[in-house]
Amino acid sequence: MEISIVFLLGLSLAFIGIIPPGMLNMTAAKISLKEGYARGFVFSIGVCIIVAVQTYLATIFAKYLNQHPDVIDILKRVALVIFILISIYFLLAAKNNANIEKEYTSKSKKSRFFQGLLMSALNVFPIPYQAYLVTTLLSYHWLTLDRLTIGSYVAGATSGTFMALYVYILFFDKIKNSKITSPRRMNYSIGIITAIIAITTLVNIIRTH
């Protein structure tokens, strides 16, 4: 298949995967609102670097992950604990908004970049998500595992992730004067979203046992 089509496939599937409200896009929007576009973009770049690595690993180990569901199960359990902790953090942050605001204004661009790296690394869901997609694409012969094709797919997935984060940054900038974008409400939103993800993960773990 042509490299350009593979790129568009990676872009579209990654965009669809991250466009629903989640920890990463809501955090990118919050940072942009509090500190401006530049730091929101720096955070997003950090996120996308990890997404590129995760997508690459998913393409390499797609068949292995699908043949060894116990590995995915371990990743889900780790993610469950992480999302519970993140939910608690942001819900507590909403109650202590004054202290959190002081912390955010003191952050540097470099720290936002590393925050993007860390939060994206903690979000392990792109690995099984992309592994499933890659395996599906392979079954339809829409994807091959040569270096050029993998590179094109990874580049597309990274671009799609950045586009989704950019959409959130722009959207929340348009409504920045509304109550929904207040730091307290943003913290509550992220906390609730990650709590829902944690509950969904727990239900999924229970169903598979």
What pLDDT is recorded for position 104?
Answer: 45
Calculate what percentage of the chain has a pLDDT beyond 70: 76
Report the 10 Å Cβ neighbour count for 18: 26
* Model pLDDT, residue 164: 92
Answer whether residue 140 shows pLDDT above 90.
Answer: no
How far apart (Å, rounded) are the C-alpha atoms in residues 3 and 5?
Answer: 5
In total, how many domains does the chain have? 1
What pLDDT score does 25 carry? 85
How does residue 54 score in pLDDT terms, banded at 50, 70 and 90?
Answer: very high
Range of the domain at 58: 3-207
